Structure 1
């Protein structure tokens, strides 16, 4: 195995095409987070983005994009906004971690949304989770019928949709809304909703806002930003900022007019986004990691993820992460679910894992 480190702008046409083909050939890599367009959007605003080009033979290359931080620490591409991590290439035997990290100049690499199907990450994980999905391979109508048999949620959403039309006016869905006023209202709603939870809006970090705007304005066949909106009459009632690849829409940052909560405008919008995704020939809407009720009710599939770290054990960052792994595995085995979760959060904060 040979590994070269380059910057994203230095990817040549052949490498970009190989990256695209790797993604097209592996359904587990269908998320837009694995698209070369996402790497290009982040790298436009961060000089610390690197790509490991892993060569198994002259015909086979894999790609691994990451942030190279101080003290030889590696972080997921996009930091806190990254909902997927992994190597864009064939799924196979695990890479020898210390040798790989040494070749890319890292002492450690933290991951929190890595694919469990990739042994390199699964074997170095201390936590498992999943990302619920709306599988549209059999079409929107079949998905809808299947979920309607399992839960009354979609029938409730359909009833509220009719009420919206009756009381506020005809609905108008825009798959991508270029109106800057709509974008500003979306941001205002999102900030207000998070403030109620004493949480900070991640896009208020300037470089992440720049990345989001670059993604929003990108429109290619294999990668595009999707700022969709829903109007009742002339009134904006819901908005969502996400992105799509050749096959998947990622449900990323939804928001809605909180004064209309009784109509569930966000869920009405999600159902319309799923219908639009099917019409565009996409095979899934990825709802992102989480246990929210609506994700359980809308999803009919999931993708398994894991959280952990790759480390060189004799380095200072690597030693700290090795100790963290042993501690977390102990909590997972002998502690309560709550103590294990609280311990995970505390140690993640202490080590600033995944932060850029």
Structure 2
């Protein structure tokens, strides 16, 4: 096993990477492309663990590591040829890594199962065949929201001006980031874009073949926008935003419906919505993947992590959880 700086990878290394990725559709997500990792590496160094039939891009700090793109990568994990088995501890020790934490590990790695502490749902939309195909697969709740979005699109056109959807907008990323930061502030969530490195990554991806910025306007008014990344028929729904001023038009659903309609022309058959069980994801999903949270560590560290996660889970389940959250926001 070798740990190679991303910038030192050879053509043969990239050929191995792409061959493994093409061997299994579970790695169709753009997060597993060399192009995504290249964009990440240009802002934060990536080292790649390479072996026979094995590729895993990582961020290494001292003797600790995380999957490349953390904490922004919504799917993580090594690319492994069929039949290849590995011992996570031995693998890491061979390249000087003592601990590796993950929070969006794609489920299904048998050798990493013992190190998984929690599993979460990551919904997706099968949009094969566009809107007609999608509405045949989604449940009644999702169909109803799509019908409502059509009606509200017409209402927005009457009230605000002609509705225009641009699937591949060439400007407006600044506005998306600003609206997303406003959303983080209003909900008390951690501001992902407080770190300039994360903003810069979006601009690099925007200028690449992976990035896709889509917008919906009604007259001169921006209703909603989304920036995501795409590869091999998969669009990852990453940073959706909407203008709160026009919230009564359900602008997020208007945008999502337009994207489903546009999917066949883009060659998109699946929209990954990312980890979480937000209401819109539950309604829009036609299926789901599973992602895992955990760490490969020493025995004592593993026990401590499990105890810590158990304590957090108990606190969330407590009747006073809402008051605790409010207190945390107050002093954040």
Query: Do both proteins adopt the same fold according to a TM-score greater than 0.5, normalized to the shorter chain?
Result: yes
Task: Indicate yes or no: 2:317 matched with 1:338.
Answer: yes
**Deviations, residues 164-183 of structure 1 (Å, cap 9, x unaligned):** 1222222222222222xx22
**Deviations, residues 42-84 of structure 1 (Å, cap 9, x unaligned):** 111113x1100121xxxxx3210110013x1111212221111
Unaligned runs of 5+ in 1: 56-60, 314-318, 343-356
Residue number among 244, 265, 276 corresponding to 2:262 in the alignment = 276
Aligned to 1:197: 187
**Deviations, residues 151-198 of structure 1 (Å, cap 9, x unaligned):** 42222222111211222222222222222xx22222221121211112
Residue number among 43, 46, 56 corresponding to 1:45 in the alignment = 43
CA distance in 1, matches of 2:286, 2:9: 37
Measure how far apart 1:274 and its partner are. Answer: 2.5
Task: Indicate yes or no: 2:178 matched with 1:188.
Answer: yes
Aligned to 1:159: 151
Whether contact under 8 Å (1:66, 1:75) holds in the other structure is: yes
CA distance in 2, matches of 1:210, 1:196: 23
Aligned to 1:297: 283
Matches of residues 3-14 of structure 1 in structure 2 within 5 Å? 3-14=1-12
Aligned to 1:172: 164
CA distance in 2, matches of 1:76, 1:321: 18
Task: Indicate yes or no: 2:66 matched with 1:67.
Answer: no
Whether contact under 8 Å (2:131, 2:257) holds in the other structure is: no
SS of corresponding position for 1:231: strand
Question: Which stretch shifts more, 242-251 or 227-236?
Answer: 227-236
Task: Indicate yes or no: 2:104 matched with 1:113.
Answer: yes
How many residue pairs end up in the alignment?
Answer: 319
Whether contact under 8 Å (2:32, 2:76) holds in the other structure is: yes
Task: Indicate yes or no: 2:291 matched with 1:285.
Answer: no
CA distance in 1, matches of 2:285, 2:82: 25
Measure how far apart 1:148 and its partner are. Answer: 5.7
Residue number among 27, 30, 45 corresponding to 1:29 in the alignment = 27
TM-score by length of 1: 0.83
Unaligned runs of 5+ in 2: 322-332
Task: Indicate yes or no: 2:238 matched with 1:252.
Answer: yes
CA distance in 2, matches of 1:214, 1:245: 16
